[in-house]
Amino acid sequence: MNAPTALIAEDEPLLRSELREALASAWPELSICAEAADGDAAIRAMEQCSPDILFLDIRMPGASGLEVARRASGRGHVVFITAYDEFAVAAFEEGAVDYLLKPFSGERLATAVTRLKQRLHEPPANLDATLRILLQKLDHGRDYLRWITASRGRELYLTAVEEVLYFRADYKYTQMVTGNGEFLIRKTIRDLLKELDPDQFWQIHRSTLVNVNAIASVQHGLDGHLHLRVGERPERLPVSRPFAHRFRQM
């Protein structure tokens, strides 16, 4: 039997690297035939190298992990990478796919590897029915982003969104500020506007989203401009005129 091959599709480079290294240790015989940073690239890579196994991030730029899995149905064994523990449990219960939770656990990876080795002796499952059920579970109660992966240096951190004080665009990345300091994420402000609960995160500037629950004070300047203080942070966040109406009564 030829050595099994795998595709890793994950938009966070450090997480991709971490999974590659963990797999090399847990399953030395496994050959990573391709890596992808978005769903569209994952589909192209799948067509080129026909991997036996696909490790797919649920939320990626371009096609989602669910869409890539739909394309891989009956062609490869799927393992979802997700920060959503409820979705992971649902995936496990459906049985046709497996999961890895962010941040990765060596114990969970070992379990997934054991199951994958067993499944390689069987044809890949048709995932159409499973994906419909998982999509429903993802949609119900998971309308908004609840966890986010951020980096500081070469360290990765999984943070609950309610702990975030604000997001601010920072060149190619977005700065995420919490009570524990400053981090970088690869999502744009536009991406975050689509994924965050609009009742919890308000846009106050074209480059800034603030956690409403973290607002400590609203300061009215003599020039009519507004600034916010959030949490115990010393900086003042400017509120641009198109968004100032939210704070006029404060």
* Amino acid letter for position 118: Q
Q: Is the pLDDT of residue 95 over 80?
A: no
Same domain, 17 and 133: yes
Confidence (pLDDT) at 15: 84
List pLDDT tens digits, range 169-225: 988 889 999 999 999 998 899 989 988 988 899 999 999 999 999 999 999 887 778
Domain stop point among 139, 157, 182: 139
Highest mean pLDDT: which of 1-5, 30-34, 143-147? 30-34
Of the listed ranges 46-50, 83-87, 140-144, the one predicted with least confidence:
140-144
Q: Pick from 13, 20, 142, 129: which is nearest to 69 by CA?
A: 129
Residues 18 and 95 reside in one and the same domain: yes
Do 111 and 231 belong to one domain?
no
Give one DSSP letter per residue of 146-197, joined into a string.
-EEEEEETTEEEEEEGGGEEEEEEETTEEEEEETTEEEEES--HHHHHHHS-
Q: Is the pLDDT of residue 240 over 80?
A: yes
Residue 116 phi/psi, 5-degree rounding, is -65, -40
Q: Can you give the CATH number for the domain in which 243 is found?
A: 2.40.50.1020
The verdict on 130 and 25 lying in the same domain is yes
**Do 48 and 23 fall into the same domain?**
yes
Do 145 and 196 touch, CB atoms closer than 8 A?
A: yes
Q: What is the pLDDT of residue 249?
A: 59
Band of pLDDT at residue 155, cut at 50, 70 and 90:
confident
Same domain? For 83 and 115 the reply is yes
> For residue 137, is pLDDT > 80?
no
Residue 5 pLDDT grade (very low, low, confident, very high; cuts 50, 70, 90): very high
Examine the pLDDT at 109 and tell me if it is beyond 60. yes
What pLDDT does 134 receive?
75
State the residue range of the domain holding 87: 5-139
Say how many domains are in the chain. Answer: 2
Q: Which residues pair with 31 in a beta bridge?
A: 5
Whether residues 9 and 132 fall in one domain: yes
91 and 212 share one domain: no
Is residue 174 domain-shared with residue 233, that is, in the same domain? yes
Kindly state the average pLDDT of the residues 142-153: 80
Among 139, 155, 176, which residue terminates a domain?
139
Both 179 and 226 in a single domain?
yes
Q: Which of 139, 157, 185 is the last residue of a domain?
A: 139
Express each pLDDT in 23-71 by its tens digit. 999 999 999 999 999 999 999 999 999 999 999 998 888 888 989 999 9
Check: CB of residue 102 under 8 Å from CB of residue 158.
yes
Q: Say if residue 166 is in the same domain as residue 235.
A: yes
User: What letters, b where the CB count within 10 A reaches 16 and e where it falls short, cover 207-227?
Assistant: ebbbbeebbeebeeeeeeebb
The Cα–Cα gap between 124 and 127 comes to 9
Q: Are residues 175 and 103 in the same domain?
A: no
pLDDT for 90: 61
Nearest to 59, CA basis, from 158, 191, 154? 191
CATH value at residue 26: 3.40.50.2300
